[in-house]
Amino acid sequence: MATNDVGGAGGGLSLSQQRQRAAFWFIAPMLAALFCVAAWPLMRTIWFSLTNTALSDLYGGEWIGFDNYLSLRVLDSGRWIWRGTLVDPAWWNAVWNTVRFAFVSVFFETILGLIVALVLNAEFKGRGLVRAAILIPWAIPTIVSAKMWAWMLNDQFGILNDIMLRLGLIDQKIAWTASVDTAMYAVLTVDIWKTTPFMALLILAGLQMVPRDIYEAAKLDGINPVKVFFKITLPLIRPALAVAIIFRMLDALRIFDLVYVLTPNSAATKTMSVISRENMIDFDKFAYGAAQSTLLFAIIALFVSLYIWLGKVDLSGEGQK
């Protein structure tokens, strides 16, 4: 009798189907919000990249296909030439800068974040205060961090040059953010300083989930601490580590504000986001910049997909067979 009542109330649906329907209606508002703030702007950007839209007239563009990506044009002299983002040296320079920045920064942030997380996971007096203090660089807005480090790295009145000169480490002042040779190192230093606490926080969350009795058993068995780390700790925090790396890689590939403030107009550090914004706003090549933004999205999706596939990452922590 009860079964018939449930079936009647659900229109003949099983209990599992009713739960699925209820779950859909619960997440429907979130899906609608994601469509408005993510999916729709992405689709509009892709559409703009296939037109000749200008910033001054966003609704007056005409369809030109893939000309913003790659096209073959004949000049007045009769010579044929390839044009478009995919044959633009400035774009490929930005791609190289972005990829190099992403891999180097994420590598060092992961290593340093893991070390910091292991220290914060240990039992010692004042651990709570240290945990709060270590998050200060991450809590500071990126714009503020960039301006603060820009003053410190300034070649004329920067404190870093002054300290290094006093210590005899350098014999003349260095334009850290203006020089082609040091600009990328300056950006990497600031980003690693700022984002390492974020990595440490995510890894620390994974360490907190590791049962303490495993370490107690390993200690009783007299297992070397280094072996415990590589055989017990690292495998158990692998899902948390994977999530931290993916999140950080997404941010690193989209880096804009730090580069834009710290090293403006520097070809040595110009990233895909910076050159896309430059074309869309500064040079009034809105459609061309939209094509570069679309390629940036495709590159990010490709990197994340390859990382998950090659690493066999299981974000649920249950492992893959």
At residue 211, the 3 state secondary structure works out as: coil
CA distance 238 to 241: 5
Tokens found for residue 52: 């000749």
pLDDT of residue 76: 63
| pLDDT tens-digit series, residues 259-308 | 999 998 889 999 999 999 999 998 889 999 999 999 999 998 888 788 77
**Band (311; pLDDT cuts 50, 70, 90):** low
| Residue 94: per-residue pLDDT | 95
**For residue 77, what pLDDT band results from cuts at 50, 70 and 90?**
low
Q: How do beta strands 71-74 and 80-83 pair?
A: antiparallel
- Is 316's pLDDT higher than 80? no
pLDDT, mean of residues 10-15: 70
Give kind and range of the element (H or E) at residue 286: helix 286-311
Q: What one-letter code names the amino acid at 63?
A: W
- Per-residue confidence at 321, pLDDT binned at 50, 70, 90? very low
- Of 242, 239, 230, nearest to 209 by C-alpha is 239
SS (H, E, C) 2-25: HHHHHHHHCCCCCHHHHHHHHHHH
Confidence at residue 243, expressed as pLDDT on a 0 to 100 scale: 86
**Contact status, residue 262 vs residue 272, Cβ threshold 8 Å:** no
Instruction: Tell the residue number behind the tokens 């999530």, with chain if given.
Output: 243
Pair 60, 53: CB distance under 8 Å: yes
- Give φ, ψ of 158 to 5 degrees: -70, 140
What's the rounded Cα separation, in Å, for the pair 269 and 101?
9
The predicted-structure confidence for 210-245, as pLDDT tens digits, reads as follows 888 888 888 887 888 888 888 888 989 988 898 889
Do residues 62 and 52 make contact, with C-beta atoms less than 8 angstroms apart? yes
- Give residue 284's pLDDT: 86
At residue 80, φ and ψ (nearest 5 deg) are -90, 145
- The maximal CA–CA distance of the chain, rounded, in angstroms, is 91
Whole-angstrom Cα distance, residue 120 to residue 129?
10
3-state secondary structure 203-221: HHHHHHCCCHHHHHHHHHC
Residues in Cβ contact with 126 at an 8 Å cutoff, skipping those fewer than 6 apart:
none
Tens digit of pLDDT for each residue in 147-165?
999 999 998 888 999 999 9
Walk me through the domains of the chain, giving residue ranges and CATH numbers: 2-49 (no CATH), 85-311 (1.10.3720.10)
Instruction: Judge contact between 294 and 84, C-beta under 8 A.
Output: no
For the whole model, what pTM was predicted? 0.83
Burial of 243 (0-12, 13-18, 19+ CB in 10 A): middle
